Amino acid sequence: MTEKIYMSAPDVGQLEEVAVIRAMKSGWVAPLGPEVDAFESEVSQRVGVSNAVALSSGTSALHLGLLALGVKPGDVVVTSTMTFIATANAILYTGAEPFFVDSELSTGNISPALLRESIELLKSQGRSIGAIVPVDLLGKAVNYTEITKIAQEFNIPILCDAAESFGATHNGKPAGSWGDASIISFNGNKIMTTSGGGMLLTNNGSIAQKVRYLATQARQPVIHYEHTDVGYNYRLSNVLAALGRAQLSRLDDMIAARRSLRSRYRDLFSAIEGVEIFDGGDDTEDNCWLTSIVVDSDHTGWSTSELLEYLATFNIETRPLWKPMHRQPLFIETPSLTNGTSEYLFENGLTLPSGSAMTIEQIEIVIASIQQFLNK
């Protein structure tokens, strides 16, 4: 059997190797150091924000971002039900309760109309809403125009979970630059990686300062170790920041590779009734991190699980979309406002191999295998 083709394998090579060795040879192997400072400044420039704090993961960035916005036990934090568990876990770490909101059909992103309804409902129950955490699903930015309006109207801060959307835009303005603060992830399967890492981005200097402080054990600025708050050890290492800088220099090429893969899939499925590319109808602003399809099996006569199993026999990895949070056993008692859209997407969506490191041969194998399945 041929080598496994992953859904989104890390895309690292010579350039990254050189960068990591450079950082090691410099002697800055401890967390923090000049590579971290340079990485923060390069990412903040790319996104167009004045502050960036490099952290050990996207999850830690979410956690500290919420704390810096003042989210506290007893608050409710309104977020998308269609997301990776990390979004919801970070809310739980603060002692707040998540409230899950359903999606738009075309993108899977939080529905602004349901968001408004959720806030009105929570207000009528006398709940204190600590933050809104919209999630840019699979690299498509949420409708920040609408969400910002709603947040301003109700005076609620926004922490954007842009873990999946680095490189994407909404109305030409980069993902990561919206809201009071945003987080991005550099986990191994994301559009670019530091093997593990994340970053908090904000134009608000006091949020950035608070996050930096909490991420380094909340140490007071004195010569001995003095502490008045609970702190965390959440900073990114200097070695990994060097890896991130090499990846950042290739980000546009990696996005271009994923975008061209998407257009191959679009061509492949264009004549197949009942199959839609899950792209919100426009991928010029999308970083095309993952390409998924949504299948109406009444029209196709086959389901996503049949395609998944068929491709698995060729050692090709595909996966369903995120299982909605309100359907997770962990959140059986957690309040939500849903209308079935995210469940439909979970049941009928499938993510195809989308990595920028895929070779031409691997792409041809995937396309040919899907074609074979369609011809069966």
Ligand X SMILES: *Cc1c(COP(=O)(O)O)cnc(C)c1O
| Residues contributing to the site for ligand X (CB under 6 A) | 57-59, 83-84, 86-87, 135, 161, 163-164, 185, 187, 198
In the complex with ligand X, which residue's Cβ is closer, 86 or 295? 86
**Rounded distance between C-alpha atoms, residue 340 and residue 327, angstroms:** 11
Identify whether the C-beta of residue 118 lies closer than 8 Å to the C-beta of residue 338.
Answer: no
In the complex with ligand X, which residue's Cβ is closer, 79 or 304? 79
φ, ψ dihedrals at 246, nearest 5°: -65, -40
Q: What is the nearest approach in angstroms of ligand X to the Cβ of residue 185? A: 3
Give the position of tokens 């991005």.
184
Q: What is the nearest approach in angstroms of ligand X to the Cβ of residue 215? A: 14
**Tokens standing for residue 333:** 């008692």
In the complex with ligand X, which residue's Cβ is closer, 103 or 369? 103
Q: What is the nearest approach in angstroms of ligand X to the Cβ of residue 57? A: 3
In the complex with ligand X, which residue's Cβ is closer, 9 or 275? 9
Plot region of 168 (φ>0 → left; ψ -120 to 50 → alpha; else → beta):
beta
In the complex with ligand X, which residue's Cβ is closer, 200 or 352? 200
Q: What is the nearest approach in angstroms of ligand X to the Cβ of residue 318? A: 17
Q: What is the 3-state secondary structure (H, E, C) of 95-158?
A: CCEEEEECECCCCCCECHHHHHHHHHHHHHCCCCEEEEECECHHHCCCCHHHHHHHHHHHCCCE
In the complex with ligand X, which residue's Cβ is closer, 185 or 336? 185
Q: What is the nearest approach in angstroms of ligand X to the Cβ of residue 301? A: 32
Q: What is the nearest approach in angstroms of ligand X to the Cβ of residue 283? A: 18
In the complex with ligand X, which residue's Cβ is closer, 144 or 269? 144
**Tokens standing for residue 123:** 């207000």
Q: What is the nearest approach in angstroms of ligand X to the Cβ of residue 192? A: 12
Q: What is the nearest approach in angstroms of ligand X to the Cβ of residue 135? A: 5
Q: What is the nearest approach in angstroms of ligand X to the Cβ of residue 58? A: 3
Residue 167 contacts by C-beta under 8 Å, 6 or more apart in sequence?
139, 174, 175, 191, 251, 252, 255, 287
**Tokens standing for residue 222:** 């004195």
In the complex with ligand X, which residue's Cβ is closer, 83 or 348? 83
DSSP state of 362: H
Buried b (16+ CB within 10 A) or exposed e, 55-81: bbbbbbbbbbbbbbbebeeebbbbbbb
In the complex with ligand X, which residue's Cβ is closer, 185 or 351? 185
Give the position of tokens 């050189």.
18
Comparing CA positions, the residue from 303, 286, 284, 285 lying closest to residue 294 is: 303
State which residue has the least CB distance to ligand X.
58
Torsion sign over Cα 83, 86, 91, 95: positive
